[in-house]
Amino acid sequence: MNQQELDHLRHSCAHLLAAAVMQLYPDAKRTIGPAIENGFYYDFEFSSPISEKDFPKIEKRMREIVKHWKGFEKYELTAEEAKSEYPGNPYKHELIDEFTASGERVSFYQSGEFRDLCKGGHVEKPNDALKHFKLLSVAGAYWRGDSNNTMLTRIYGTCFLTKEELDQYLFQIEEAEKRDHRKLGKELDLFTFSPLVGSGLPLFTPNGTMLRELLNDFSQGLRIQQGFQKVWVPHITKNDLYKMSGHWDKFGDELFLVKSQETSDEMVMKPMNCPHHQQIYVAKPRSYRDLPLKYLETTTIYRDEKAGELLGLSRVRSVTQDDSHTFCTPEQIESIYQSLIDIVKKFYGTLGMTFRARLSFRDPSAPEKYLGEPELWEKAQSILLNVAQINNLDYFVAEGEAAFYGPKIDFMVKDAIGREWQLATPQLDFVQPKRFGLTYVDAAGTEQTPVMIHFALMGSLERFLSVYIEHTAGAFPLWVSPLQMAIISVGESHRAHSEALAAEFRTAGIRVDVDNADETVGNKIRKAVRMKVPYMLVIGDKEINSQQLMVRKRGEKEAAPIEKETFLKHLAQLIAERSLEL
């Protein structure tokens, strides 16, 4: 079943949900019910609240109704006829007025005794196809996404063609709840939020900061090996910079405005770094001999995201990017992309994460959404397609997913429970260098415009961490684990030996913590297990008198003896190799 067929299945199930709700709650007002990425939803205005406790009753009625649904029959109605289908429903009336503004009729689809305003896209035999569905959750949703409008009740559900697919998806949801990075972030003491700081502005603890820095060091190291150089730019700028780049017209309402007490300049918090890096490039004349010129910077940008869209680290207002930009000649594009693909393979391969490539091209039916000449877009897209084929990437083309200034390769990374996330992104840009007047002198002494390649390996560190925490379920590999070893002192008399042992391990570069709390050993062990520490040592009389360490590995219930020097060499090797194993 392709995506369109799956969307039709799920939209048909949204009709079924609405039919059941209207039978059970006749005074409810229905609005819209589209298919979405993993299922469908339908928004209603109820006279009294409903909850997930009502789902079994609704699902039961859905199964009764669908037995009588043999197909979807289309009707076309005038505005007046259409409105008569929804007495007292201002939401449907509003939609009908829009759809009939030029005198058109509107389409309705009917199954059994239920029909609804709809433009189409259904299964042919709903009584056969709509068998494997599940209602998932209830949420609030403003009518048409506007906080000035009525808050409606949104019922989410999903539907699959087979029971096996539905069961797999429900298992994935259950597993995702266990792995929720917001829950694990609190349990593992990685990050927090403060109402005094503001929504969408995460604060990272020592553990979380260590995790960020280790991953960023790896990201930067891979790029430095490929000739990237670090730069630094400020966090505020005149808005003239983004007006020239084109970002102001496209994203001006997402920018945080900054007011100066000293100057009349209109300032903003930077929402991206590329215009700044271009100003470094343009600061002095460039020759073809200077190219490719590669800049990298891990820095925070700021987007004024809507409060209702903020979600843990997945969607924040302060976004830290492991950003980089390459300025090159057209002839160098292919080799640059090859090096970037090698970096992506190394980084995500080390983390044990597989990926496929989405070639994000422009939508040819909406050229007004993009800057630049059509022939430049065609040239850029053909280069990316060729690069993907040469590298034997598992790729697919997605029209309409390009940035406004150029096409890109979005690496869709799969996590441990099968979900896909768009993370690393090399973006080809023929537009911005020309807008900013970037040039280089070629071998013939002629001025040319360089090509710019945007590249972020993790993308947003915050969003990447939300994915990575859930991918690992917080059980990080040794090299990236904020705390690599917990030494548990049985009693006060064992404290000195525990501290001396910890000092020895720290000298060897191991991140270790000593638990000297006045608690039972069992409690201390359970605490270390909850923190998912890779290794644990319990130090008592027996261990002090032994020539060996008794090491308990994460995931195991029993400790095993090992020579200290052997253990230290083992740890050093695992860290050096960035191994996924303990």
d(Cα 115, Cα 75) in Å, to the nearest integer?
9
Query: Which of 31-40, 153-162, 424-433 has the lowest average pLDDT?
Result: 424-433
Residue 259 pLDDT exceeds 90 = no
CA dist., res. 157 & res. 170, Å (int): 11
Reported as a pLDDT band with limits 50, 70 and 90, residue 266 is confident
Is 376 or 276 the better-scoring residue by pLDDT? 276
C-alpha span between 129 and 125 (Å, rounded): 6
More confident residue, 262 or 344: 344
CA distances (Å), 219 to each of 297, 323, 465, in order? Answer: 11, 10, 13
DSSP string across 182-246: HHHHHHTT-EE--TTT-TT--EE-HHHHHHHHHHHHHHHHHHHTTT-EE----SEEETHHHHHHT
Distances (CA, A) of 342 to 36, 411, 425: 34, 12, 13
Using DSSP bridges, classify how beta strands 106-111 and 132-142 pair: parallel, antiparallel or unpaired: unpaired
Tell me what the mean pLDDT of segment 48-54 comes to. Answer: 95
Predicted pLDDT of residue 475: 97
CA distance 423 to 428: 16
Whole-number Å distance between alpha carbons of 477 and 554: 10
Residue 356 structure tokens = 């496929």
pLDDT value at 250 more than 80: no
Q: Is the Cβ–Cβ distance between 47 and 28 less than 8 Å?
A: yes
- Helices 55-66 and 3-24, packing angle to 10 deg: 110
- CA atoms in the 13 A half-sphere facing the CB of 497: 18
Mean pLDDT (whole number) for 412-425:
93
Interaxial angle between packed helices 333-350 and 206-224, expressed in degrees from 0 to 180 and rounded to the nearest 10: 140
Instruction: Look at residues 291, 284, 320 and name the one whose alpha carbon lies nearest to residue 303.
Output: 320
CA angle centred on 572, ends 568 and 575, rounded to 5°: 140
In this model, does residue 247 exceed pLDDT 80? no
3-class secondary structure, 94:
helix
The tens digit of pLDDT for each residue in 532-574 reads 999 999 999 999 998 899 999 999 999 999 999 999 999 999 9
Model confidence over 74-103: pLDDT tens digits? 999 999 999 999 999 999 999 999 999 999
Look up residue 270 and give its DSSP letter: -
**What is the pLDDT, as a whole number, of residue 547?**
84
User: Cα–Cα distance between 169 and 417 in angstroms, integer?
Assistant: 10
Task: Please say whether the beta carbons of 454 and 316 come within 8 A.
Answer: no
In whole angstroms, give the CA distance from residue 110 to residue 128.
16
CA distance 532 to 536: 10
Average pLDDT over residues 156-179: 94
Cα–Cα dist 449/431, whole Å: 10
Q: Which domains does the chain have, with CATH numbers?
A: 3-174 (3.30.980.10), 187-233+270-472 (3.30.930.10), 478-576 (3.40.50.800)
Taking Cα atoms as reference points, which of 268, 326, 272 lies closest to residue 299?
Answer: 272
Distance CA 369, CA 406 (A): 11
pLDDT in tens, 281-300: 999 999 999 999 999 999 99
Give yes or no for a contact between 543 and 550, defined as CB atoms under 8 angstroms apart. Answer: yes
Task: Give the CA count within 13 Å in the CB-facing half-sphere of 387.
Answer: 27
Q: What is the CA radius of gyration of the chain?
A: 29
Share of the chain above pLDDT 90, in %: 87
For residue 168, is pLDDT > 90?
yes
Confidence of residue 376 (pLDDT cuts 50, 70, 90): confident
Q: Is pLDDT larger for residue 294 or for residue 249?
A: 294
Task: Please say if the pLDDT value at position 341 is more than 80.
Answer: yes
Q: Judge whether 483 and 530 are in contact, CB under 8 Å.
A: no
Which residues form the catalytic set?
A: 274, 303, 321, 323, 325, 408, 454
- Alpha-carbon distance of 173 to 55, in angstroms, equals 17
Cα torsion angle, 542, 544, 545, 546, sign: positive
pTM for the model: 0.85
Give DSSP secondary structure letters for 341-392: HHHHHHHHHHTT-EEEEEEEE--TT-GGGS-S-HHHHHHHHHHHHHHHHHTT
Confidence of residue 408 (pLDDT cuts 50, 70, 90): very high
496 three-class SS: helix
What was the pLDDT predicted at 188?
97
